[in-house]
Every structure is written in structure tokens, then in C-alpha cells.
């Protein structure tokens, strides 16, 4: 779900466009901003998830070690007992700007919504749609 090692996948991920205004994209990510932002992705995708930034806790719940080079990951639970609300881990050591956070949230939310898409072009088109929808939600009043 999170293997972005393939160069094509890396490139598609990097091409995701955040709807944030330019001056906000490079701002640092704090947990409260990330939680608010995650709620917007949950809203537009109609897929709830728990955001986890404590990777030790995530590893202990999921029973899988969290690989330190992963920017983000989702955990749906075991095949026979899926979690009602999946977990989404974001690694704040790697996701350091709001623009990167938007890309990570869109990418992982996409995996929750259309898991069968893998990392195909269609998967990233869906991730971009989520970003665009979040942008629509957050347009500042004129
Ligand atoms: Zn992925």
C-alpha cells in the first residue's frame, strides 16, 4: 500500500497538486493541523479513518513494524476481521510540509477508497480528485 519505491509511483505521487495557497504549502506540519486536514479528506471521501502519528502505537496495534522510510501507511485490519474504522499512520519525520501532508493524505485516502487501483494512473487521478474536493471545501469566503 505504501511502497513508492517504483520511480513511476514516486513521480505520480510528486505530481499530486495541493490546493493550499502557495504561502501555506511550505509551512510545517503540526498534529492539530494534520488532524483537521485529515477530517476534510475523510469528509470528501466519505471514508472515516483514525489518524495515527505515534508510529510505535501504530506498530503495536497493527502487529507490523512501521518501516521508517515510509511516509504514510494505512491498516485495514486482518482480512477476516476488517476494522470498522481503519488506521492511517503519517510519519511526521518524513512528512514535514503541509504540501507533503496533503499528498500523503490524498494518497492514503485513495488506498482506502479504491484499494484495487494500486498505484495505477487511475489511482493518482482519484487522489488528485480528493485534493481538488478538499480545495473546494476550504475556499476562503470572498
Ligand atoms: Zn501507495
Q: What is the pLDDT of residues 6-62, one digit of tens each?
A: 899 999 999 999 999 999 999 999 999 999 999 999 999 999 999 999 999 999 999
Distance (angstroms) between ligand 1 centre and the Cα of 39 equals: 19
pLDDT at 132: 98
Q: Report CA(119)–ligand 1 centroid distance (Å).
A: 6
Write down the pTM of the prediction: 0.93
Distance 107 CA to ligand 1 centre (A): 6
CA of 141 to the centre of ligand 1 (A): 34
User: How far is residue 73's CA from residue 59's CA, in Å, rounded to a whole number?
Assistant: 11
* % of the chain at pLDDT higher than 90: 86
CA of 104 to the centre of ligand 1 (A): 9
Q: Is 129 exposed, middle or buried (0-12, 13-18, 19+ CB in 10 A)?
A: middle
Strand partners, 90: 72
Task: Show me where the domains of the chain are located.
Answer: 7-19+26-134
Whole-number Å distance, alpha carbon 140 to ligand 1 midpoint, is 30
Residue 5 has pLDDT above 90, yes or no: no
1 — pLDDT class (breaks 50, 70, 90): very low
Amino acid at each position: 500500500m505504501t511502497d513508492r519505491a517504483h520511480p513511476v509511483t514516486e513521480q505520480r505521487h510528486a505530481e499530486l497538486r495541493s490546493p493550499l495557497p502557495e504561502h501555506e504549502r511550505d509551512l510545517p506540519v503540526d498534529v492539530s493541523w494534520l488532524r483537521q486536514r485529515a477530517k476534510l479528506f475523510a469528509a470528501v471521501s466519505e471514508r472515516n479513518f483514525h489518524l495515527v502519528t505515534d508510529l510505535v502505537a501504530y506498530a503495536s496495534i497493527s502487529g507490523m513494524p512501521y518501516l521508517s522510510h515510509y511516509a504514510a501507511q494505512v491498516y485495514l485490519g486482518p482480512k477476516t476481521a476488517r476494522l470498522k474504522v481503519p488506521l492511517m499512520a503519517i510519519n511526521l519525520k518524513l512528512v514535514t510540509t503541509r504540501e507533503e501532508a496533503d499528498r500523503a493524505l490524498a494518497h492514503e485516502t485513495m488506498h482506502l477508497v479504491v484499494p484495487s487501483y494500486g498505484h495505477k494512473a487511475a489511482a493518482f487521478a482519484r487522489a488528485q480528485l480528493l485534493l481538488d474536493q478538499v480545495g473546494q471545501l476550504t475556499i476562503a469566503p470572498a
